[in-house]
A = this chain, B = another copy of it.
């Protein structure tokens, strides 16, 4: 049946964006972030975004090719934050100081998750439908897991027993962190921030360096 050559879509010709345009673009990005949170990625309509941004429907297409495109812009920003967070994991040490470092880091992760959760979740949804996001997701996960695995291995070299396979444990720990934040911050679980951070930091610490010496 229908197979007549379809003209290539007019690829939006790299419009140069002025100051006013940039402001509108940011408004749209923030609105999208917002709507992704409220309705989820697949249920989000371009119209929801423009309504929230207070622009016309058409304005959206001045700055983005489509829904995926906005998500991509947001996701890249988020990925950068994530990379930075992952890098901060490098210096964690054994001992009480290390535990405190870890605790602080988990706190920062939680903050970041809270800010970026709409994007993360949209992203996860989109992974199923678009391989580009899948790829980006793998990269970020890999970055995290690599840092953690490295830390575990350092512990092992230092003579600490480790109950687990570093690469696998690393992904498990990230999974835990990410998913817990999801249940807590997105789905709205009844947890207290301090307790959460203590609990997660403790589990991480033991997985990284073994039993903690407590008073």
Contact = CB atoms under 8 A, between A and B. Distances in A.
A64 B31 CA distance: 28
A200 B179 CA distance: 15
A51 to B, nearest CB: 7
Contacts of A14: 1
A183 interface: yes
Contacts of A175: 175-176, 178-180, 182-183
A13 B134 contact: no
B163 A214 contact: yes
Given A134-B187, A164-B198, A169-B199, A42 B180 contact: no
Contacts of A129: 7, 39-40, 42-43
B179 A69 contact: no
Size band of the interface chain A makes with B: 35 or more
A145 to B, nearest CB: 9
Given A40-B129, A176-B172, A199-B169, A4 B72 contact: yes
A132 interface: yes
A203 B171 contact: no
B165 A171 contact: no
A211 B207 CA distance: 10
A212 B2 CA distance: 50
A128 B117 CA distance: 13
A46 B140 CA distance: 34
A43 B65 CA distance: 20
A40 to B, nearest CB: 3
A4 B68 contact: yes
A153 to B, nearest CB: 14
A131 interface: yes
Interface string A1-30: 111111100011111000000000000000
14 contacts: A1-B11, A3-B11, A3-B43, A3-B69, A4-B68, A40-B128, A42-B129, A43-B129, A134-B187, A164-B203, A165-B198, A172-B180, A175-B176, A206-B207
